[in-house]
Structure 1
Amino acid sequence: MNVTLVGPGVHGTMIAALLARHGVGVTLYHYKPAKAEAAAAQVRAVAQDPSRVAVENDLHRAAAASDIVVLATLWGEAQRQVIQEIGDELAGRVVVDVSNPLDVTPHGIIRALSPHQSSGAFVAGLLPEGTSHVKVFSSIGPDALAEGADLADPAVLAYGASDARGKKAGAEMVRAVGWRPWFLGDAVRNAVRLEIGGEVNVLRGRRGRLITEAEAEAAFGPEATDI
């Protein structure tokens, strides 16, 4: 598996590090190349194969490097700019949306949308036809994401997808970082549940933010089979 990650901040760098630690090839892009290089240094330090961690300074080449593109920028205008720039190049690829609708203000970080709106729906409205949209990694912070990987009793990470290709890719990616994937159904319909303030986002299990398969079934009911 090879993955391109656009916008490696704290959360994105942790996702990239977990992927690389488990042998996945990772290409990093940031509009500020120095930030991509700094993230790559952190990722290579834990990578199973540091030679498979690359930096690409051109967004078009970065998108072309992998069939899976993780959009890890801030939500909103940054997402719009990235998707508009590479546009139809995303068609036929899987776009993994890890965003939460949060704005940084002088008064702190606040939720920017009403409880019935989601950044997942915002992203879906920008993607070109033929793109598989996966909503995952929004429901848990970077520290808990790292702590919950590779447990003997695997912790559950819920996700949604727009089609069968996205469902398959999402499950493979979650397994690749040492978690048990739990499919909720359609990415947009379940985005509110996965994002900040949603029922999946705030759910607590016996390890704080981490829940087991049995706890997930008790909370969500049986895992979804259809989109």
Structure 2
Amino acid sequence: MTVTIIGAGSIGQAVAGIAVASGHAVQILARDAGKAAQAAASSGAASGTIGDPIAGDVVVLAVPYPAVGEVLGVYAGTLAGKVLVDVTNPLDFSTFDSLVVPADGSAAAVIQALVPEARVVKAFNTTFAATLATRAVGGTTTTVLIAGDDADAKTAVAAVVEGGGLIAVDAGSLRRARELESLGFLQLTLAATEKIGWTGGFALVK
């Protein structure tokens, strides 16, 4: 399987490392070809710019939420049947004190409505890049919570997560993305106010 990651930031690089460790081919696309190449170099992934053809069966949207609409516009009509992983937390970046999606909705739901032919999965938004890269939160293995309506799509994402040395937990249908985004929002605000570090966060203990 090939995993395409759109975005060359810290989350994108961490997910790329997980996918490579899981034995999959990885493609990283970014606006800046140099940044994409630099991000890819650490994991041995291929790189390119946004607008290049998507190679992946699984596509990870590792860009800030305000950029999602533009990216999906670039790839309109090319995402049918693909597993589209939304890692965003739709914060109001002007206040850092609220989410910008409806109270009964989520960024993932917005994305699914924009690309109804894709199989949208919410994942990786409740973990910081550092805990993805190290595979640990404190002394506990990092857990990736996964929500979606397509069972096969969730299984594909879980296989990448587990193959890369993390724990995957099915959090339910795509409706649960709202709760995952609220959890991600809380974790971000705690880190931004220095209540926790960016190498910490929430852990799931069974």
Q: TM-score range by the shorter chain?
A: 0.7 to 0.9
Gaps of 5+ in 2: 189-199
Alignment pair present for 1:56 and 2:48? yes
Q: Secondary structure at the match of 2:60?
A: strand
* Counterpart residue number, 2:177: 191
Deviation digits for residues 29-87 of structure 1, max 9, x if unmatched? 011212212211233xxxxxx3xx101235241x1x111110111103x1111112211
* Counterpart residue number, 2:60: 70
| Residue among 138, 159, 166 paired with 2:125 | 138
Matched AA of 1:211: L
The answer to whether the 8 A contact 2:6-2:50 is kept is no
The answer to whether the 8 A contact 2:58-2:84 is kept is yes
1:139, distance to aligned residue in structure 2 (A): 0.9
Distance 1:152 1:177, change over 3 A: farther
Q: Secondary structure at the match of 2:93?
A: strand
Quick one: distance in 2 between partners of 1:198 and 1:35? 26
Q: Secondary structure at the match of 1:101?
A: coil
Alignment pair present for 1:160 and 2:144? no
Q: Secondary structure at the match of 2:56?
A: coil
Query: In the TM superposition, what are the counterparts of 1:90-101 in structure 2 within 5 Å?
Result: 90-101=79-90
The answer to whether the 8 A contact 1:88-1:128 is kept is no
The answer to whether the 8 A contact 2:79-2:115 is kept is yes
| Residue among 167, 170, 176 paired with 2:157 | 170
Structure with the bigger RCO (C-alpha within 8 Å, sep 6+) is 2
Distance 1:209 1:153, change over 3 A: closer
Distance 1:155 1:92, change over 3 A: same
1:10, distance to aligned residue in structure 2 (A): 1.6
| Residue among 53, 68, 91 paired with 1:102 | 91
Matched AA of 2:61: L
| Residue among 71, 83, 92 paired with 2:72 | 83
| Residue among 106, 113, 123 paired with 2:111 | 123
TM-score normalised by L of structure 2: 0.81
Structure having the larger proportion of residues in helix: 1
Deviation digits for residues 85-138 of structure 1, max 9, x if unmatched? 211210011101100002433x6x443326544211221111132x11110001
CA RMSD of aligned residues (A): 2.9
The answer to whether the 8 A contact 1:70-1:97 is kept is yes
Gaps of 5+ in 1: 44-49, 215-227
Distance 1:11 1:199, change over 3 A: closer
1:199, distance to aligned residue in structure 2 (A): 9.8
TM-score normalised by L of structure 1: 0.74
- Identity of matched residues, %: 31
* Counterpart residue number, 1:218: none
1:200, distance to aligned residue in structure 2 (A): 9.6
Quick one: distance in 1 between partners of 2:185 and 2:99? 18
Distance 1:143 1:155, change over 3 A: closer
For these two proteins, the number of residue pairs brought into alignment is: 195
Greater C-alpha radius of gyration: 1
Q: Secondary structure at the match of 1:171?
A: helix
Quick one: distance in 2 between partners of 1:82 and 1:67? 17
Matched AA of 2:5: L
Quick one: distance in 2 between partners of 1:56 and 1:208? 32
